[in-house]
C-alpha cells in the first residue's frame, strides 16, 4: 500500500475513485483494466493538486519525486527515454476533475520535445514534416498554457507562414516553411521569457503539471463551476499519457465519438474526425471535421474496432460515452472516455431506453437526468409556416431556436444582456474564454467548428441553441460586421438574427417561434417520477391560459394565483384607478363591484382548467400606488379620465393625494394584509368573487378546492382580524347563492416575524405558503432588484454566497427560519398544509430542502412543473438511499 497519494499508474489506479483520480483518470484506469488499447500513463491526483494550492502554487518535492518515478516506469514499459534524441518519449498532460468540465482547463501535447528530440523524432519516423509540426504545436500550447504568452502572437505568425506558402490549412504547410515558423516561435518565447523554451523534459513536465493544477482556478473554470454548481474545493487531477500521433499522414487521424447522439439520444455511434491531425484540431474548430460514418470508407478495420469499443464502453459504464481516439499509422488508441454532455431531450431518451435495455431500474433512470435539463425540451422552435429563406446553414449543434440582436464580443454580450437585450453571439469560432458571452446570449452562431467544438458542447450543456460550422460566414469583430457567402448585404452588430439549432439554419430578422411538441418518452419518464415522489407539485398561474398549460405539464393545483396581475389588464385598470381615487367607502365599493365581475370570470376559468385540484388565491398584495403612474403629467391625465371635468383645485388636491401614496420603501409599506385591514372592502370583494366562481363551476359538474391566502401577515392578531371580517362575507355568499363549498383560510409566510411566531399564526391559519422571495429579501436585508444589478453577482464570485439566494434558497439562513416555522406551525396544528410559492419552488436544490422539511407541495411557473416533478422524485430517491442531500448554500 502506498504511503502517499500523489501519482499512480493507470494499472494501479482505482477506476471507481473519481474523488482521488478525477473522472478522466478513473476512466483511464477502468479502460486499462478492460484491456482496451490505451496509451500507458499515470495520474497525478487531486490530492496533489490541493497540496499544490496549499503550498502557494508550488509543486512539492514529494510530488516531483513520484512523477519522476512514474516517468521511469513509463520509459521501461515503452523502451523509450524522456529527452533521448535517438528514441524520445513524448507525453500529453491533461486535466481531469471529478466532474467533467470540457474545455475549461488546460492540456499540453507533445511534451518532451526540444531542439534535439525534435530532430531525433524526425529521423526515427523518417517524417521530418511530422516532427516539425509536432514541435510547433508543443511550443504554441506550452507557451500559452504554461508560460502565459498570448496565443495571438503565434497565430499571427502561423497565418503569415500559411499565406506565404500559399496553403489554406496548417497540415498543408511544407517542412521548410515549418522550420521558418519554429524560428519565429522561438523568438517570441525568447522575447517574453529571456532564456527561451525549457529544454529539459522533466522541467517541462513539472511546469505542465503545475499549469494544469493552476487551470482549476482560471476565470473560465470558475465560471463553469458556478454555472454548473460544481464545488470549488475538489481540485483537478493531471493525467500524463504517452503520446500517440494522428498527424503522421493519411493513414493517421484523430476524432471524438459518442456512443449515442448527444442531441437526440439515438443509440447510434455519432461523432467526427480529421485525417492527419491531432486532437486539438477537432475541438478547436480550426478545421471542419468529417462525419464518423466516413471513417468506415477510409479505414474500415479501424472503424469496426472503434465502433465495437465504443459500444463496449457504453455497456460497461451504462451511460452515453464521449470517446476521444487517435489512429497512428493504422493502429487505434483510445485516449479517454467520459459520460457525454447531452441535451435534455437526449438525456431523457437515453435514460428511458437504457432502463428498457436493462441497464438499470426506473429509479436509477430518474437519477440520470438533471432536472433543469428538462427545460430544454420546452424550448421554442422556428415556426415551420414562416415564409423565410435561410441566409446560411451549418451544423445543428444544439437544439432550439433563438431570436436576438447580433453581438460579436463576449464581454459586450455580458454588458448588453445586463441591460435586458436579447442577443445572438456570432463568432468565427469560440474558445473556453468566451463562456460568459455564451451564458449571456440566447444562442450562438459560429463560422467554424463541428458538433464537438467548444461552442457546441457548452451550448448543449447550457441548453442554448447553437449553429456551428457555418461555412461562408465571416464575423469581423473589429469592423462590427457579419457577412454570408451568397448574401450581398452586410449585417452589423445590433441587427436581428434568428438561429435554429435543431435544423442548423440561420435567418436574417426575427422569425416567429412556436412551442415545442413533447414526445412519448417525456410522459413516460415523468410518470415514473410521479410514482416515486412524495411532494405535490403545483403551479403559479394567474389566468386560465397559464393554468391550462401547467395542468398539461402535470401540475396538481395552483400554489399561487396573484390577483393583482388581473388588476393590471387594460380594460380593468381604469376601474382599479377609479377605486383608488374614490373619496369614500361607498364610492370605492361601487368601483369594486365592476372589478368583481372581471375577477369572478377569471376565477371561474382557473377553477375549470384545474379540474378539482386546489387553487390558492392570494388576496391583493402590492401597494396601491403601483397601479398609478409616477409622472405628474400622467397622474393628471388619470385624474381627468376618472373624474371628468373638474376644477384645477380639485385636480391639485387629488394629485397630492396620489403622490402621498408613493412610499420610500414599498416592500415594507402599506400592502398585503395591511391594505385588507384598512380597506376591508377590497378583500371582501375578492372573497365574494372567489366563492361565487367556485359555486358556479361546481354546479357545472367540476370539483373545486379554493384556498384563500392572506399576504404579508406578521402577527396572529392581523390574521385573526381579517378572518373575523371575511368569514361572514363567505357565509353571506353561501346564503345568497343557496349553496356552499369547502374552503380554507391561510397565510403567506414572508415576514421573518411570522416564521418566528408560526405557532401563534397557526392557531388561525389552516395552511402556510412560504413566499421565499420576500422572506429572503427581509431576512438578508437585500433589495432583490437593486442587489442583482449592483452587487449580488460579485458576492457570488467572492464566495459570500455560493449561489444567488433568490435563485437557490439560502438554506443556512432563510432555511433555518423556514424549518423553525414548519416545526412551530405543526406543533400547533398537526395537519397544517405547507407549501412554497416563491421562485425557489422550481429550483431542484430548494425542492430537496422542501422534501426534507416535510412540505406538502412546491409551486413554480408552468414551464418548470416538469423540472419540479423530477426534482421531487430525486429527493425521495436520495432519502430512500440515505445519500447526501442537495445543499447549495
Condensed to tens digits (0 to 9), the pLDDT of residues 833-867 reads 999 997 799 899 999 999 999 999 999 988 889 99
Q: Are 726 and 689 in contact (CB under 8 A)?
A: no
User: CA 47, CA 237: separation in Å to the nearest integer?
Assistant: 8
Mind listing the pLDDT tens digit for each residue in 332-383? 999 999 999 888 889 999 999 999 999 999 999 999 999 988 877 877 778 8
| Grid cell in block for residue 744 | 380554507
pLDDT at residue number 772 = 94
User: 122-128 — which CB contacts under 8 Å span 24+ positions?
Assistant: 124/86, 124/87, 124/88, 125/248, 127/248, 127/249, 128/175
Q: Please name the residue that has the C-alpha cell 473522472.
A: 23
The reported pLDDT for the residue numbered 863 is: 80
With contact defined as beta carbons under 8 Å apart, do 293 and 272 qualify? Answer: no
CA separation for the pair 485, 492 (Å, rounded) = 15
pLDDT score for 474: 93
Distance separating alpha carbons of residues 820 and 815, to the nearest angstrom: 9
- Separation of alpha carbons 81 and 199, rounded Å: 15
Which residue positions in the chain have pLDDT lower than 70? 1-4, 103-104, 280, 282-286, 432-433, 450-454, 457, 461, 517, 785, 788-789, 883-889
Q: Which residue has the cell 491526483?
A: 45
673 catalytic? Reply is no
Q: Give the CA angle between residues 466, 472, 475 to the nearest 5°.
A: 65
128-145 and 175-193 are packed helices; what angle lies between their axes, rounded to 10 degrees?
20
- DSSP 8-state class, residue 600: H
Q: Could you read off the pLDDT of 82-116 as tens digits, one per residue?
A: 999 999 999 999 999 998 887 667 789 999 999 99
Out of 49, 561, 837, 860, which one is annotated catalytic? 837
Partnered with residue 44 across adjacent β-strands are 7, 238
The C-alpha cell at 389 is 429563406
Q: What is the DSSP string of 414-454?
A: HHHHHTT--EEEEESS--GGGHHHHHHSSEEEESS--TTSH
Contact 616, 557 (CB under 8 A): yes
Q: Quick one: which of 693, 624, 384, 365 has its CA closest to 516?
A: 384
Cell output for 861: 411557473
The 10s digit of each residue's pLDDT in 572-595 is: 888 888 888 888 899 899 999 999
Residue (of 407, 52, 414) closest to 235 by Cα position: 52
Give yes or no for a contact between 558 and 859, defined as CB atoms under 8 angstroms apart. Answer: yes
Q: Are 597 and 655 in contact (CB under 8 A)?
A: no
**286 in helix, strand or coil?**
coil
- Quick: pLDDT tens for 642-696: 777 777 877 888 778 778 888 878 888 889 999 999 999 999 999 999 999 999 9
- Predicted structure pTM score: 0.79
Question: Strand, coil or helix: what is 373?
Answer: helix
Residue 854 gets the label, from left (phi > 0), alpha (psi -120 to 50) or beta, of left
Q: Provide, rounded to the nearest whole percent, the portion of the chain with pLDDT above 70.
A: 96
Record the cell numbers describing residue 178, joined without a space. 515549418
Q: How is residue 619 annotated by DSSP?
A: P
Q: What are the φ/ψ torsions at residue 611 (nearest 5 degrees)?
A: 50, 50
- Residue-by-residue DSSP string for 526-570: HHHHHHH--SEEEEE-SSHHHHHHHHHTT--SEEEEEHHHHHTST
The answer to whether 192 is a known catalytic residue is: no
Q: Which ranges constitute the DSSP H helices of 285-376? A: 295-298, 300-317, 344-356, 362-367
Q: According to the model, what pLDDT value does residue 666 have?
A: 80
Q: Give the pairing of strands 321-328 and 253-258.
A: antiparallel
Burial of 191 (0-12, 13-18, 19+ CB in 10 A): exposed
Instruction: Look up residue 361 and give its three cell numbers.
Output: 431500474
Burial of 420 (0-12, 13-18, 19+ CB in 10 A): exposed
Show the cell assigned to 325: 481516439
What's the grid cell of residue 184?
A: 519565429
Nearest to 694 by CA among 600, 563, 560: 600
Listing DSSP states for 692-742 in one string gives HHHHHHHHTT---EEEEEE-S--SHHHHHHHHHHHHHHHHHHHHHHT----
Catalytic member of 49, 379, 436, 454: 454
Amino acid at each position: 500500500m502506498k504511503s502517499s497519494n500523489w501519482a499512480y499508474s493507470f494499472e494501479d489506479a482505482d477506476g471507481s475513485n473519481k474523488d482521488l483520480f478525477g473522472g478522466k483518470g478513473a476512466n483511464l484506469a477502468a479502460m486499462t483494466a478492460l484491456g482496451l488499447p490505451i496509451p500507458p500513463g499515470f495520474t497525478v491526483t487531486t490530492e496533489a493538486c490541493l497540496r499544490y494550492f496549499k503550498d502557494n502554487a508550488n509543486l512539492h518535492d514529494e510530488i516531483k519525486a513520484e512523477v519522476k518515478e512514474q516517468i521511469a516506469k513509463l520509459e521501461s514499459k515503452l523502451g523509450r527515454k524522456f529527452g533521448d534524441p535517438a528514441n524520445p518519449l513524448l507525453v500529453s498532460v491533461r486535466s481531469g476533475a471529478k466532474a467533467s468540465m470540457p474545455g475549461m482547463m488546460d492540456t499540453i501535447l507533445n511534451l518532451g520535445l526540444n531542439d534535439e528530440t525534435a530532430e531525433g523524432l524526425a529521423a526515427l519516423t523518417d517524417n521530418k514534416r511530422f516532427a516539425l509540426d509536432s514541435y510547433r504545436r508543443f511550443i504554441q500550447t506550452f507557451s500559452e498554457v504554461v508560460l502565459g504568452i498570448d496565443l495571438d502572437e503565434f497565430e499571427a505568425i502561423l497565418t503569415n507562414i500559411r499565406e506565404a506558402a500559399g496553403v489554406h490549412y496548417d497540415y498543408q504547410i511544407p517542412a521548410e516553411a515549418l522550420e521558418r515558423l519554429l524560428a519565429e516561435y522561438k523568438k517570441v518565447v525568447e522575447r517574453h521569457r529571456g532564456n527561451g523554451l525549457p529544454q529539459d523534459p522533466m522541467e517541462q513536465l513539472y511546469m505542465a503539471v503545475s499549469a494544469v493544477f493552476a487551470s482549476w482556478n482560471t476565470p473560465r473554470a470558475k465560471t463553469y463551476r458556478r454555472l454548473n454548481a460544481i464545488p470549488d474545493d475538489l481540485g483537478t487531477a493531471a493525467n500524463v499519457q504517452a503520446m500517440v500521433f494522428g498527424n503522421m499522414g493519411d493513414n493517421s487521424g484523430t476524432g471524438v465519438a459518442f456512443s449515442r447522439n448527444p442531441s437526440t439520444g439515438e443509440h447510434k455511434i455519432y461523432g467526427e474526425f480529421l485525417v492527419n491531425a491531432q486532437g486539438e484540431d477537432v475541438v478547436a474548430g480550426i478545421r471542419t471535421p468529417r462525419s464518423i460514418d466516413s471513417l468506415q470508407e477510409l479505414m474500415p478495420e479501424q472503424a469496426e474496432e472503434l465502433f465495437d469499443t465504443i459500444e463496449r464502453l457504453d455497456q460497461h459504464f451504462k451511460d452515453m460515452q464521449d470517446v476521444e481516439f487517435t489512429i497512428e499509422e493504422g493502429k487505434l488508441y483510445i485516449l479517454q472516455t467520459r459520460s457525454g454532455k447531452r441535451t435534455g431531450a437526449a438525456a431523457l431518451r437515453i435514460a428511458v431506453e437504457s432502463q428498457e435495455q436493462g441497464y438499470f431500474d426506473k429509479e436509477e433512470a430518474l437519477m440520470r437526468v438533471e432536472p433543469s435539463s428538462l427545460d430544454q425540451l420546452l424550448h421554442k422552435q422556428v415556426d415551420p409556416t414562416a415564409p423565410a429563406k435561410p441566409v446560411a446553414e451549418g451544423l445543428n449543434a444544439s437544439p432550439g431556436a433563438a431570436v436576438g440582436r447580433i453581438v460579436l464580443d463576449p464581454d459586450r454580450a455580458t454588458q448588453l444582456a445586463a441591460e435586458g437585450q436579447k442577443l445572438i453571439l456570432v463568432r468565427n469560432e469560440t474558445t473556453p474564454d468566451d463562456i460568459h458571452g455564451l451564458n449571456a446570449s440566447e444562442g450562438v452562431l459560429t463560422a467554424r467548428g463541428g458538433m464537438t467544438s467548444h461552442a457546441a458542447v457548452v451550448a448543449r450543456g447550457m441548453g442554448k441553441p447553437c449553429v456551428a460550422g457555418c461555412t461562408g460566414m465571416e464575423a469581423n469583430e473589429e469592423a462590427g460586421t457579419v457577412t454570408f457567402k451568397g448574401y450581398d448585404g452586410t449585417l452589423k452588430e445590433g441587427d436581428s438574427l434568428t438561429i435554429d439549432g435543431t435544423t442548423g439554419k440561420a435567418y436574417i430578422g426575427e422569425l416567429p417561434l412556436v412551442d415545442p411538441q413533447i414526445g412519448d418518452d417525456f410522459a413516460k419518464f415523468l410518470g415514473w417520477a410521479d410514482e416515486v415522489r412524495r411532494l405535490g407539485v403545483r403551479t403559479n398561474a394567474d389566468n386560465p391560459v397559464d393554468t391550462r398549460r401547467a395542468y398539461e405539464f402535470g401540475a396538481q393545483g395552483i400554489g399561487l394565483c396573484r390577483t393583482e396581475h388581473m388588476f393590471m389588464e387594460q380594460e380593468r385598470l381604469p376601474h382599479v384607478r377609479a377605486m383608488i381615487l374614490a373619496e369614500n367607502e361607498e364610492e370605492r365599493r361601487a368601483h369594486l363591484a365592476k372589478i368583481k365581475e372581471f375577477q369572478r370570470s377569471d376565477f371561474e376559468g382557473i377553477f375549470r382548467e384545474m379540474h378539482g385540484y386546489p387553487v390558492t388565491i392570494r388576496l391583493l398584495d402590492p401597494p396601491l400606488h403601483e397601479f398609478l403612474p409616477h409622472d405628474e403629467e400622467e397622474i393628471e391625465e388619470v385624474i381627468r379620465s376618472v373624474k371628468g371635468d373638474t376644477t384645477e383645485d380639485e385636480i391639485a388636491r387629488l394629485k397630492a393625494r396620489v403622490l402621498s401614496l408613493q412610499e420610500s420603501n414599498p416592500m415594507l409599506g402599506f400592502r398585503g394584509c395591511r391594505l385588507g385591514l384598512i380597506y376591508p372592502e377590497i378583500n371582501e370583494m375578492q372573497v365574494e368573487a372567489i366563492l361565487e366562481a367556485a359555486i358556479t363551476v361546481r354546479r357545472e359538474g367540476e370539483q373545486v378546492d379554493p384556498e384563500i391566502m392572506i399576504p404579508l401577515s406578521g402577527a396572529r392578531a392581523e390574521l385573526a382580524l381579517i378572518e373575523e371580517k371575511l368569514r361572514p362575507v363567505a357565509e353571506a355568499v353561501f346564503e345568497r347563492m343557496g349553496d356552499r363549498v369547502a374552503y380554507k383560510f391561510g397565510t403567506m409566510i414572508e415576514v421573518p416575524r411570522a416564521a418566528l411566531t408560526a405557532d401563534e399564526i397557526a392557531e388561525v391559519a389552516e395552511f402556510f405558503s412560504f413566499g421565499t422571495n420576500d422572506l429572503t429579501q427581509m431576512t438578508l436585508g437585500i433589495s432583490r432588484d437593486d442587489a442583482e444589478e449592483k452587487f449580488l453577482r460579485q458576492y457570488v464570485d467572492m464566495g459570500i454566497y455560493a449561489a444567488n439566494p433568490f435563485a437557490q434558497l439560502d438554506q443556512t439562513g432563510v432555511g433555518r427560519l423556514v424549518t423553525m416555522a414548519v416545526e412551530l406551525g405543526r406543533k400547533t396544528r398537526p395537519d397544517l398544509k405547507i407549501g412554497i410559492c416563491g421562485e425557489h419552488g422550481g429550483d431542484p436544490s430548494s425542492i430537496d430542502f422542501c422534501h426534507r422539511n416535510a412540505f406538502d407541495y412546491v409551486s413554480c411557473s408552468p414551464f418548470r412543473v416538469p423540472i419540479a416533478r423530477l426534482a421531487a422524485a430525486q429527493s425521495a430517491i436520495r432519502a430512500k438511499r440515505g445519500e447526501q442531500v442537495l445543499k447549495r448554500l
